Chains A and B, each alone.
Chain A
Amino acid sequence: MIFSEPRFLLFFALVFGVHWMLRSNAPRKVWLLAASLFFYGSWNWKLLALILGCATVDYVCARLIARARERGASGKKWLITSLCYDLGTLGFFKYYNFFADSAVDFLQWLGLPASEVTLSIVLPVGISFFTFQAMSYTIDVYRGKLKPAPHFLDFVLFVTFFPQLVAGPIVRASEFLPQLQKKRVFRDVDTQRAFGQFLSGFIKKAVIADLMAGPVEAVFAGPAEYTALSIAIGVLCYAIQIYCDFSGYSDMAIGTARLLGYDLTKNFNFPYLATSITDFWRRWHISLSGWLRDYLYISLGGNRGSRLFTHRNLALTMLLGGLWHGAGWNFIIWGAIHGLALVVHKEWLRYVGEGKLPILSRLITLYTVLLAWIYFRAANFGDAWVMTKAWVLWQSPGEKTVELWSPIAAWPVEHRILLLTVPLLVLHVLTNWGVHRFCRRVLPAWLVTMLFGVLSAIALSFMPIEARPFIYFQF
C-alpha cells in the first residue's frame, strides 16, 4: 500500500475518522498502533515479527540502560546488545548477500576455490528507516539525552507509526515521544496546511516523478546508445525524479501525520538550490544527514582533531551513508563522491572562504550532485562509466536521442526539457521564497480549498495510469 494508491486513501479515511472520533489519547494510540501494524502487514504479515522484535529489544535495552545508570553503571553492554540486534537484523536482511557475493568474487579473483553462498532473503520494506530510528532511541538514552519511553505501547507506536514507517523521515524519539503525551484536539490541526502538504507531495510523486520515469528508464537502460546531450538530459531527469519521488513521499508522510495531529521532521529544504555540498546535505534527506552527523560522524570524533582526521571522518560517514542506501558498490561510490566533495569543500572554505563566488559554488555543487546520481541509478559500473564520460568530457557513446515526453514526439529534445524543467525550477525557487505561504495568508480559505480541487483534478489527469513504487522503498 503506497500513499498515492486509492486503497491508501480509503485506509487513511478510516484511520482519520476513527482517530478523531475517539475521545481520549490512550484508545487513539491503540487505534494508531493497530492501523500502523495493518499498514506494514499489508506488504508482508510475516515481517511484523521483525519490526515488533526490534521494538521489543530496544525498549527493554533502553530500560536496562536507564536502570544501570541509576545504579551508577554505564549500561554499555545493553547499548551494545541493542546495536548488535538492530545492526545484525539490518546486516542480515540487507547486506548478507552483498558481502557474501563480494567475498566469493574476491576469493575467486585470488584464484581460491569459493562456492555460491547467496541466500534467498526478502528485503523488509523500510528496514533501514525503522532500525535507525530505534537505534537513535537507545543511543540517546545511553547518552542521557532522553528518558526511556514510559510505556511499551508508546515506543512501539514510535517505531511503527505508519506515515513515516517505510521511507522516513527518520524521526527521533526525543521529538516524537513527547507528542504522544500531549492532549490532541481536532480544532488545533491546521487541516488545510496538512492537506496542502499531502497534495503537493502527491503531485511531486505521482505526476512529476512518475512522468520523469520514462526518459530516465530509457537512458539508464542502455546509455551506450545515446548522445552526450541525451545522457545529460537523462541524468537531469533522474535528479528531478528522485527529488520529487522522495521529497513527495516525505511531504505526504508529513501531511498525513499532521492530519492526525503529529509533527514530523522536515526532510527536504530545496536541496538543488544549495550553495555548497555541505549546504546540500543540510537540505537533502535532512533526517538521515542529521542522524549520520549525530550518531556516526560525532561518534567517530567529528572535527575534534587534525584536518586529516576530520576529512577521514567525513569520508567514512559518507561511505557508510552510501552503504545505508543499498547493498551495492554503486551506492558506496555515490557515498565516496559525496565524501570527497565534502572534503574538497572544507579545503575550498580554507582557501576561498565562506560565501565567496556563490553562483560558481552553486553550479559546482549541482554538477557534482548530478554526477553522483549517475552511480546511484546506473545498472552497473560499465554504464556508469560511459555516462560519467558523457557528463564530464561530453563524449557521445551513441546516436540515439532520448524521448523525453513521448506525446510531443517531434519536438527537439532541448525544447522538451525546457518545457518541463523551467516551470519546475521557477516553482522550486518561488516556493523556496515562500510564495505558497504568502498565498495562504492573502487568499481566503475557501479559495485555497477550491484551488486544491482544481489542482487535484489536473494532477489526476496528468498522473500516469501505471504508478511506480517509491524509489526509497528499496532502501
Chain B
Amino acid sequence: MSKHLLHVALYAVILLLTASVIRSYDALPYWGMARGKLAFLEHHLEDYDVLFLGSSRVHNGFMPSVFDERMTELGEPVKSFCWGQSGQRQHDYDPIIDWLIGQRPQRLKYLMIELHAWVQGPRNNNWMSAHEIGRHQWQTFRTRAVSLLIGRDDFGTKCEKLLHCGAHVLANTFRIGQGPRILDENLAPLDGRKRWKRWRIPHEGWKELSQETARKRRLKVHEEWRSRPDRAAGQLAKKRENIAIPRFNGGFNHGGMERQIERLRAAGIEPIYVIMPHYATNFLGRDGALEWADKVTILELDRPQLAGPIYDFSNWFDSAHMIKSGAQLCSKKIAEFVHEAGKKAIFDSK
C-alpha cells in the first residue's frame, strides 16, 4: 500500500511541477486585451501618471487624451492610460494590482479603479465561458469566497458559486485548455502576426465603440436598445427619481476594499474609485460604498444629477456603454472631479 501511495504522491508532484512550468511560461491572465495591456505597460509604465482600471465601460468610455487635455487646462498636467477590459470586475483587480506594485512604478500618482459592488456572478449567467474561467486565480479566491459568503444568496446558490470558483481556480492552476492558445501565441510570427507581447495598444488603451467597431453580439444589443428611446427615457426618469435600486444579493466586501487601498497606499499610489455611469440600472453597492466616502476618493457618475450632459441619449451605444461623444464628456467630467476632489469624495449620499 505504501508503494502505491508513493506512486500517487510522485504522480501528483510531477503533475503539479509540469503545470507550474507551463504556468511560469504563461504567467499573465489570459483573457483578451488584459494580456495585451499588461504586456504594453510592462514597457511603458513610466510614461503615465494616471491609470484607469475597469471594465468595458472604462475601455470604451474613458479617453485618456481628453482627460489629459482637461487636466492640463485645469493646471495639473498628467498623462493617463485606459486600463479597461471587458468583463473585468472588482475581484479581478487584485492580481493586477499585485503585478503593478511589483513593477515599482515611480511616476504613477493615481490609480483610478472602476468601483463594482463586489458582485460575484458569471457574465450572461454562463460559468463555463473561457473568459469566466480565465478570471479565477489563487490570489483572488479568498476575496471571492468572502464576497460570496457575506452575500444574501441562499445556501445552495452560495455552494454552487463557490464550487465554480474553486473549479475554475483549479482549471487555471493546471492551465486547462490553454495549450492551443499558448502554441498559437508562440507560432504567430510564422504567419506574419505579431506575438501578443508586441500587440499595439492604440489610443492609450481606449477603444471607440461604434457600429463599425462593435462585435456582432454587442451590435445586436445596440440595435435593440437604440430602437426603444422611449424605454430608455423611462429608465432614466426612474434613475433620476432613484426608485429603481435593484436588490443587491452580493455582500460589499469591506475587507477586500481595505486591503486594496492599503496595498496601493503603501506603494505610494493613491487609489481613486469611480462609479461609471449606467443608463438603465443603479449602482448596486451604494450602501457599502457610502462607508468609504470619507476614507478614499469616490467619484460617482452613476447619478444623472452629478454627471450632467453625459446622460443624453445620443451619447450612448447601449444602456451601459458610451460612444465617442459620451466618452469625451465622461473623460472631461472625470478630470474635473479628480481636480476638485483631492482626497475628498464626490459622492451623492442621498
Interface positions of A (Cβ within 8 A of B): 6, 186, 191-192, 211, 405-411, 445-446, 449-450, 452-454, 456-458, 460-466
Contacts and interface: CB of A to CB of B under 8 A. Distances in A.
Given A409-B191, A453-B10, A458 B179 contact: yes
Contacts of A409: 191
Contacts of A407: 180-181, 183-184, 187
B128 A408 contact: no
Given A405-B180, A408-B191, A462-B180, A450 B10 contact: yes
B15 interface: yes
Contact of A6 (B4, B167, B179, B180): B167
Contacts of A456: 11, 15, 18
B93 interface: no
B176 interface: yes
Given A6-B167, A445-B7, A461 B178 contact: yes
B174 A460 contact: yes
A453 B15 contact: yes
18 contacts: A407-B184, A410-B190, A410-B191, A411-B190, A449-B7, A452-B11, A452-B14, A453-B10, A453-B11, A453-B13, A454-B14, A460-B174, A461-B22, A461-B177, A461-B178, A463-B177, A465-B128, A465-B133
Given A191-B4, A409-B191, A465-B128, A457 B174 contact: yes
Nearest to A405: B180
Contact of B179 (A408, A450, A452, A462): A462
Given A454-B14, A454-B18, A457-B174, A446 B187 contact: no
List the 4 closest A-B pairs by CB distance, nearest first.
A453-B14, A410-B191, A407-B184, A457-B18
A424 to B, nearest CB: 16
Nearest to A459: B179
Contacts of A192: 7
A458 B182 CA distance: 12
Contacts of A445: 7
B156 interface: no
A85 B178 CA distance: 49
B75 interface: no
A215 to B, nearest CB: 13
A362 to B, nearest CB: 32
B19 interface: yes
Contacts of A463: 176-177, 179
A454 B10 CA distance: 11
Nearest to A461: B179
Contact of A460 (B167, B175, B180, B184): B175
B184 A457 contact: no
Contacts of B128: 465-466
B18 A465 contact: no
A465 B190 contact: no
A453 B18 contact: yes
Contacts of B184: 406-408
Q: Is the interface of B mostly helix, strand, loop or mixed?
A: helix
A458 B14 CA distance: 11
A21 B171 CA distance: 31
B192 interface: yes
Given A456-B11, A460-B176, A461-B175, 9 more contacts: A186-B1, A409-B191, A456-B15, A457-B22, A457-B174, A460-B19, A461-B22, A461-B174, A464-B180
A446 B7 CA distance: 7
Nearest to B184: A407
B201 interface: no
B130 interface: yes
Contacts of B16: 457
Interface in B95-129: 128
A211 B179 CA distance: 11
A27 B167 CA distance: 33
Nearest to B191: A410
B267 interface: no
Given A408-B191, A409-B191, A411-B191, A465 B14 contact: no
A115 to B, nearest CB: 39
A54 B263 CA distance: 65
A461 B13 contact: no
A173 B11 CA distance: 36
A461 B11 contact: no
A410 B192 contact: yes
B246 to A, nearest CB: 31
Interface in B123-149: 128, 130, 133
Given A457-B18, A461-B182, A446 B10 contact: yes
A336 B178 CA distance: 42
Contacts of B191: 408-411
B159 interface: no
A461 B176 contact: yes
B12 interface: yes
Contacts of A464: 177, 180
Contacts of A449: 7, 10-11, 14
Contacts of B7: 191-192, 445-446, 449
Contacts of A466: 128
